Amino acid sequence: MAEYMVEVLDAVKKFKETVALNHVTARFETGRIHGIVGRNGSGKTVLFKCICGFMQLTSGSILVDGRPVKPGTAQEIGVIIEEPGFIGSLSGYKNLKLLASIGKKISDADIRIALERVGLDPDLKKHVSKYSMGMRHRLGIAQAIMEKPKLLILDEPMNGLDKQGVAEIRQVLKQLNREGATIILSSHYAEDIEVLCDTVYEMDAGILTFIKR
Amino acid sequence: MTDLKTILLCALVNFRKWMVNPRIYTLAAVTVGFLSWHSAGLSQLSAAVGIDVTPWVFPNLLTTSAMVAVFTCFIMLFFCDAPFADSHTPFLIIRTGRRNWMIGQLLYIILASFIYTVFFLIMSVVVLLPNVQWDTGWGTILKTIAANPGIGDNYGIKLTVFVHPLIVDMFSPIEATIISFGLFWLTSAFIGILILCGNVITGRTGGLVMAGVFLCISFFTEYLGPLTFGGYWIRYLSPINWCSICCLDWNKRGEWVSPSYAVISLVLAIVFMGIVSTIVFCNKDMDIQKRG
């Protein structure tokens, strides 16, 4: 495994005249939890999308586990970016089962464990269209963690969760980190960053600054 | 790597979303409403003369440009949001890769077009109930309308379904239905993939605009095209018209597009636009709509 799970090297992303990422360079160590803080529109989500291959850099490069990100290919990354969406006519369990059937890496029991870890009942028959915002976010986290990826990219994972939910998810993320996962997350909650993160960066107007270890 | 099972799964996911998509219910309702209105004259004529209609109305539903335009609008409504990316899509694409996912969307359009064609065919019979006579022939009503399109006037009934005499003479009802089914399906898939291709390339609703342009061309082709250009060659540039069995050159007089030209052109266009969509989608930023 590479020393750095994610390496962002002189990354520039422009949308016409707007510079979303302005020569960003950062190396995210393997096996740690990295936090990125910053206002809305500062470029955090764009950086996450580029790491996942949903967006292409204007220049520069990104390596995940030592390999360059190719926009068209599947990746072993657990991801939540923006508001998580699911098939509304299926239960949470069936939604995850459908996603898990693509990679075929995990069993039904693993899906149940992932749901229980985020505080959702695997046997709940309710359709996702009737889930509350908090339940949808928990389900989003469950889909990100269920296949035990080496890298988790979580954009505002605590959005829509109540206090208890936030505490539970923090525990889950810590546990996953102890099991070896590298986590890069953004959050509006200063406490998330304080409690969870080993290293903290700040994104402002597309410029990423290292704040603390 | 391209994986057939993954591609199929990406296509099937879209069908799973139908249950919570109000547009699908709207399309079904509007289609049934349109067919009811369109076939009302046939039912009334059947009741007036006391003879039931045979169920072979489907090949004669798109015999006028106005009806072709309505059909095109239905398909545009069906596929207007191609490539069907919503907030669920990143979870799929991170696992499937973009190419598999996009090929899945192309497959979805082809399968969904087939299902819509089946629905259209079945509903064209259902709306005639109970005035339907199960027979393998064209039947008295359809043959009479083919010979005398103004027959409805004798009973004070306005007929909007026109039965083409050439079709009745040349084909058995089953043959005409199979050919019409194929053309309807192929043209629906063409419009769907045209919308997908245009939307992917422009990142917005360019495909919908392109479909609208083709709709205008189909109208122009039938009404002003031959007069403006002094020939029928403009019909070779209007693929939407080829959805109707009546708009093809079955007796080789050269006024219409030959069936083989129509089928080959539609298939080639579908393949070409599918390849372009996939290449473009794999090489540009993903545009995710906040819904779903």
Give yes or no for residue B40 having a pLDDT over 70: yes
The alpha carbon of residue B109 is apart from the nearest alpha carbon of chain A, in Å, by 19
A17 and A55 housed in the same domain:
yes
Query: For A158, phi and psi rounded to 5 degrees?
Result: -90, 0
Helix axes B173-202, B206-223, angle to 10 degrees: 140
The 10s digit of each residue's pLDDT in A66-98 is 889 887 777 788 998 878 889 988 999 999 999
pLDDT bucket at A103, cuts 50 / 70 / 90: confident
Which residues of chain B does A82 touch, with a Cβ-Cβ cutoff of 8 Å?
87, 288, 290
CB contact under 8 A, A49 and B89: no
A13 and A52 housed in the same domain:
yes
A106 and A206 housed in the same domain:
no
Q: Closest residue of B to A153, CA-based?
A: B94
B8 touches chain A (CB under 8 A): no
Q: Give the H or E element holding residue B5.
A: helix B4-16
Quote the number of domains for chain A: 2
A89 touches chain B (CB under 8 A): yes
Choose one of A104, A123, A143: the last residue of a domain: A143
CA distance B140 to B54: 8
Of B95, B99, B286, Cβ closest to residue A99: B95
The alpha carbon of residue B99 is apart from the nearest alpha carbon of chain A, in Å, by 6
Of B6, B17, B282, Cβ closest to residue A87: B17
CB contact under 8 A, B90 and A52: yes
Interface test with B, best of A12, A21, A50, A54 (most B CBs within 10 A): A54
Q: Closest Cα to residue B111, out of B41, B192, B46, B49?
A: B192
If you average pLDDT over every residue of chain A, what do you get?
A: 89
CA distance B126 to A183: 57
**pLDDT of the residue at B219:** 83
A159 and A137 housed in the same domain:
no
The 10s digit of each residue's pLDDT in B42-99 is 999 999 999 999 999 999 998 888 888 999 999 999 999 989 988 888 889 988 989 9
Cα end-to-end distance, chain B, whole Å: 27
A55 and A153 housed in the same domain:
yes
In a domain, A84, yes or no: no
**What three-state secondary structure class fits B285?**
coil
Question: Between the CA of residue A11 and those of A42, A56, A62, A80, B277, what are the distances in Å?
Answer: 15, 10, 7, 21, 27
Q: Closest residue of B to A82, CA-based?
A: B87
**What three-state secondary structure class fits B89?**
helix
pLDDT bucket at B171, cuts 50 / 70 / 90: very high
The alpha carbon of residue A192 is apart from the nearest alpha carbon of chain B, in Å, by 24
Residues 87-146 (B) with a CB less than 8 A from some CB of A? 87-100
In a domain, A164, yes or no: yes
User: Where are the strands (E) in chain A, listed by range?
Assistant: 4-15, 18-29, 33-37, 59-64, 67-68, 77-80, 151-155, 182-186, 199-204, 207-212
**Are A77 and A52 in contact, with CB atoms under 8 Å apart?**
yes
Q: Closest Cα to residue A29, out of A210, A204, A183, A176?
A: A183
If you average pLDDT over every residue of chain B, what do you get?
A: 89
A193 and A166 housed in the same domain:
yes
In a domain, A82, yes or no: no
Choose one of A106, A127, A143: the last residue of a domain: A143
Give yes or no for residue B224 having a pLDDT over 80: no
Choose one of A143, A158, A188: the last residue of a domain: A143
Q: Domain-by-domain residue ranges, chain B?
A: 4-282
CB contact under 8 A, A82 and B97: no
**Are A93 and A112 in contact, with CB atoms under 8 Å apart?**
yes
The alpha carbon of residue B191 is apart from the nearest alpha carbon of chain A, in Å, by 26
A51 and A68 housed in the same domain:
yes
| Weakest-pLDDT range from A171-175, A184-188, B112-116, B286-290 | B286-290
In a domain, A161, yes or no: yes
Domain that holds residue A100: 89-143
Higher-confidence residue of A3 and B79: namely B79
On the CB side of B243, CA atoms within 13 Å amount to 28
The alpha carbon of residue A99 is apart from the nearest alpha carbon of chain B, in Å, by 7
Instruction: Kindly give the pairing relationship between strand A151-155 and strand A33-37.
Output: unpaired
Cα end-to-end distance, chain A, whole Å: 22
Residues 128-157 (A) with a CB less than 8 A from some CB of B? 129, 143
CB contact under 8 A, B9 and A101: yes
Q: Closest residue of A to B286, CA-based?
A: A54
**pLDDT of the residue at B292:** 34
Of A55, A85, A90, Cβ closest to residue B285: A55
Q: Is ipTM strictly over 0.90?
A: no
**pLDDT of the residue at B291:** 41
Higher-confidence residue of B222 and B279: namely B279
Beta bridge partners of A28: A6
CB contact under 8 A, A82 and B87: yes
**Are A135 and A122 in contact, with CB atoms under 8 Å apart?**
no
pLDDT bucket at B110, cuts 50 / 70 / 90: very high
B182 touches chain A (CB under 8 A): no
Interface test with B, best of A45, A47, A50, A73 (most B CBs within 10 A): A73
A159 and A177 housed in the same domain:
yes
B65 touches chain A (CB under 8 A): no
The alpha carbon of residue B223 is apart from the nearest alpha carbon of chain A, in Å, by 43
**Are B111 and B225 in contact, with CB atoms under 8 Å apart?**
no
CB contact under 8 A, A89 and B19: yes
